[in-house]
Amino acid sequence: MNSDRHLKELLPEKPSELKRNLSIFLLISIIYASGSFTNFSLSKLLGNLKEGADLLDRMFFPPDFAYAKRLLLPMLETIQISFVGTVIGSFFAIPIAVFSARNISANKSVGVFFRLFLNLFRTIPALVFAAFFASVFGFGSFSGMMALLVFTIGLVAKLTYEAIENIDPGPLEALTAAGAGQGAIFRYAIVPQVLPQFLSYVLYSFEINIRASAVLGYVGAGGIGEYYDRTLSFLKYDKAGTIVLLTFFVILAIDLISARLRARLI
């Protein structure tokens, strides 16, 4: 009894939960408001469930396996487009990330400029980039590659500069104290700390780019995307299902490979 009272007296005042409760309330309100704004209705969702199931049935039971053969080359092209776009885009993302990171940026206003630029960049959908490049370079895989490249810069640079901002500043300080210059500090204190994350962002964006190339088909950007366009506009759902399955396996394979790679890097 006595010690109980002691504990109470010693305990610091309980922190207020007002802020947390307000946040939860706000979040629920936002979700509710968005739902009513988009005319979301549970009954409509459930009522149309059967039609959705029908479509899935036509797509996958069974898919058109014979069609898969014809898809292999375009799939390869999609992988190529995505790969080149990812690699080149990631390469250009590096200096942009370095200029954007607040903790290492040489110049404050340069950092503000690059971060603004990145945010602007990321609000533009890949499809818009594709349309833009198609109008510049004409329809085809080059325009698709350029769209993915630019999209990759935005994604990888943003994630990487955030990773750079979260590194341990200790080694930077130690190398500065040892008389190292900017380049050596980058190489020996920053790169080792962000390399695993950077590479996993690159792999992640490779996956996204393969999926995105389906959409890019609509602007004639080459690869598997065109086949989506063809099959869906002719209501060949079994063929579209085959494309979905193939894409799924490719992404699964990339995911497995990147999991392996990441495990070795960390």
Q: Is 261 in the site for another protein (CB under 8 A)?
A: no
Binding status of residue 187 toward another protein by CB under 8 A: yes
Contacts by 59-62 with C-beta closer than 8 Å and gap 24+?
59/237, 59/238, 59/240, 59/241, 59/244, 60/241, 60/245, 62/238
Please tell me whether residue 264 binds another protein under the rule CB under 8 A: no
107 belongs to the binding site for another protein (CB under 8 A): no
Tell whether residue 199 is a contact of another protein (CB under 8 A): no
Minimum CB distance to another protein, residue 199 (Å): 13
Helix (H, G, I), strand (E, B) or coil at 212: helix
Does 171 sit near another protein (CB under 8 A)?
yes
Cβ closest to another protein, residue 189 vs residue 214: 189
- Give how far Cα 90 sits from Cα of 59, 184, 196, 199, 261, Å: 35, 21, 14, 9, 17
Q: Is 166 in the site for another protein (CB under 8 A)?
A: no
* Number of C-beta neighbours around residue 92 at 10 A: 15
Residue 188 as a binder of another protein (CB under 8 A): the answer is yes
Under rule CB under 8 A, residue 193 binds another protein: yes
Closest by alpha carbon to 98, among 194, 179, 220? 194
Question: Considering beta carbons, is residue 175 or 202 the nearer one to another protein?
Answer: 175
Confirm or reject binding of residue 95 to another protein (CB under 8 A): no
Stretch that binds another protein, among 67-75, 142-150, 172-180, 223-231 (CB under 8 A): 172-180
Asked whether position 12 contacts another protein by CB under 8 A, the answer is: no
Query: Interface with another protein by CB under 8 A: which range of 77-85, 99-107, 178-186, 215-223?
Result: 178-186
Q: Using the rule CB under 8 A, is 104 a contact of another protein?
A: no
Judged by CB under 8 A, the chain residues 31 through 70 that form the site for another protein are: none
CB closer to another protein out of 15 and 183: 183
Q: 199-203 long-range CB contacts below 8 Å, 24 or more apart?
A: 199/261, 199/262, 199/265, 200/258, 200/262, 200/265, 201/90, 201/155, 201/156, 201/159, 201/160, 201/163, 202/86, 202/87, 202/90, 202/156, 203/254, 203/257, 203/258, 203/261, 203/262
> Comparing C-alpha atoms, which of 222, 255, 226 is closest to residue 147?
222
Q: Are residues 148 and 82 in contact, defined by beta-carbon separation less than 8 angstroms?
A: yes
What is the CA 118 to chain-centroid distance, rounded? Answer: 14
Q: Tokens at residue 12, please?
A: 């610091």
Identify which of residues 12 and 183 has a Cβ nearer to another protein in the complex. Answer: 183
Residue 192 binding another protein, by CB under 8 A: yes
Residue 159 makes contact with another protein by CB under 8 A = no
- Tell whether residue 108 is a contact of another protein (CB under 8 A): no
Q: List residues near another protein by CB under 8 A.
A: 168, 170-171, 173-181, 183-184, 186-189, 192-193, 196
